[in-house]
Structure 1
Amino acid sequence: MYQLNLDIQDFLTNVWQKKPMVYRQAFKNFADPIAADELAGLACEEEVSSRIVVTQNKGKDWQVVNGPFEDYDQYGEENWQLLVQAVNHWYPDSQPLVEAFRFLPDWRFDDLMVSFATPGGGVGPHIDQYDVFIIQGEGRRRWTVGDIGSHQQRGGNLTSPLIDNFTPIIDDILEPGDMLYIPPGFPHQGFTLTLALSYSIGFRAPSQQELMSQLADYLIDENVGHRRFTSTTDAAGKGVVAQEQQLGMMALIKQLAEDPQYYQTMLGKLLSQNRFELDICESEPVNAEALADAIEDGAILRRIGGLKVLSLENDSQSRLFINGESYSFDAADTALAHQLSDDTELSGDALQVLADSSLQPVLLKLLQQGLFYLAEAE
């Protein structure tokens, strides 16, 4: 269990998405949830997203090598860093660290990235468009963070994530258990002083591109949104599109975006999806009788790592959104559905009540899909 030593209300009011901040001993007596060799083993798997960043030219350039990796000997003992995304999907022992940050809603949560770095290792000065909490595990790393503003991409390369050097407003060394919070848009850079493990808890919100793309996909998939623009206004000229008509066409999009029957399904599917592959649990099919027997034997219902189970406030339908799909239930069981979305595991009477409700078909389907699984009582 990881207990976050943080005044959550003060953080949400004064810090969240406003300014970077260092928190000393955010986790007292911090213990690494994963060892360096275990992290290296994960990066050998094809399904796991990983990369190595090699520091070159005395810290002025960086080379990125994408995994999977077969060995690490070629990189030597300094000036490189291994980063593994979505470790919480593949390594269950890391989930308790993620749980410490569930004071923020699940729809925002992106993944737990873990990095192992040798002395001199880092990824260079860069800007992320998401919120991140960086927890220092084993070792020591120096972090610099600049102010939000206009920053030039390194070498004028508009596709590069790297930027030119910046003037720090934070320049600190993190020890085990310390935490650095960085909102979107603030430039930052880590420099490794000793062999080190770091944990990045990322929170991401959808962009305008993602929202428009998802809305368009929904309209096409559902074969809706056929209303065309009409106008009785005369054209401003033979080759001119009148301002009034421009606004009228865009109003059609605004109308769709403000209609719950269109945007709710789109948002539910978009926000419940994961950017990184899930570790689907392969198991034997479970029917209602087998589920009842398992519950009687004390089984625990658990979701796989990284799975998002979401509901929409004031939804026009009674449903949950899970991994980009919707699952319906009776309105009378809304409280039970919220329990399924809030709790990462259920057992005993709570699971029995759920299995006896209109959510039973949902449970059986989720088990069949390998998104949930039944574990023996410990």
Structure 2
Amino acid sequence: MASMAAPWWRRVTRDQWRAFGAAYLGWLLDGFDFTILTFLLVDIERSFTVSSALAGALGTVTLMFRLVGGIGAGTAADRWGRKGPLMFSILWYSLFAFLGGFSTTYRVLFACRALFGIGMGGVWAAGMPLAIEHWPAELRGTVSGMLQSGYSMGFMVSAFVYQFVYPLVNRGNTGWRMMLWLGALPALLVFWIMRSVKESPVWLEGRKARATDSTGSLAISKLFDRDLVITTLHTSLVMSAFLIFYHSITFWYPTLIGQMHRRTLGPLVLLNFGAVVGNMLWGRVSETRVGRRGAAALATLGGLAAVPLYVFSTSTGPLLTGALIMGLLGVGNFGIVPTYLSERFPTAARAAGAGFAYHVGAAVSSLMPFVVGALEDRGMALGSAMAVCIGAGGVALVVLMWLGPETKGRTL
């Protein structure tokens, strides 16, 4: 009884916190390496003399290739454990983030960002099940929100680095390259994971059952068995809507702020601070009677209502308010995603299923940086282009979530 009365964080063991730390830091640093690019698009356009659409395509190709990493690392994580594929994925994305800084042509940078995307997809597919399966069932919504907030924290770190470090190194054609070279730093995290983080207990318990599986089928093939194919298709559509909504909100936002001749730091810090709080808030809300579906729908509808304030404000007060509200609601809705996807798939196909669905969504939503850039190239104001895409993604997300089952309380 005393244990149940204790604050939730005291009911979490050291091993559970370490598993959370591995997934959280991997995702935070992944988020930094991806989002730092959004601050550098204008300089990259000038360096290689390319259009806004081609600059946006650097984000598009990264998101598309996340699917490769999500499938590969997810399948490996279901077969050989969560920990090894997580470490390999971190090393992979660190390498290609670093190599991108040496690009001599746009095509070389394009290839490096594509390969970076493979590692980015692998971190989510292996890391999220590692943490979710370690934690108590009644705290899955909480850990889900905290995990997903790591990406927004990485975005916030990239905003601070761009504001305070970039001006010190931006000399000629080398400033944006030095920002990409920072992408090598996450590789250091692997040494700590190797020594301090334990394998998922849920995966270890299921190992005996998998050893007696006479079919020897890979987890990815199980996703298209009769009993899982509808789940696979539905979760892929849900994640497509989630990520269309997200990337329409965030990818071109630094550029939009720059077009207003304002510093990006204030709005971006508030956007991502709101997202960190929102991820944790909506993760906790999803543990109540509202459930996973209700929490996602409420947050998304609030984000849609905030669109005019977010993209069309020009004075300081409304601009900052819009950024904070959009982070809390429009980006905070992601807090339910890690636990929602984990609850939709069985242990033997959890990493592959969650990784596949999440990164099919990333591949579909990869069109959004290009689409928004192309709409601007054709004469639409950037804020209007963002608003159209945000609206489409948000409406689709609410509808798709309610077409699927409620998963709160499912046994992993």
TM-score normalized by structure 2? Answer: 0.24
Q: Which has the higher contact order (CA 8 A, sep 6+)?
A: 2
Q: Which of the two has greater helix per residue?
A: 2
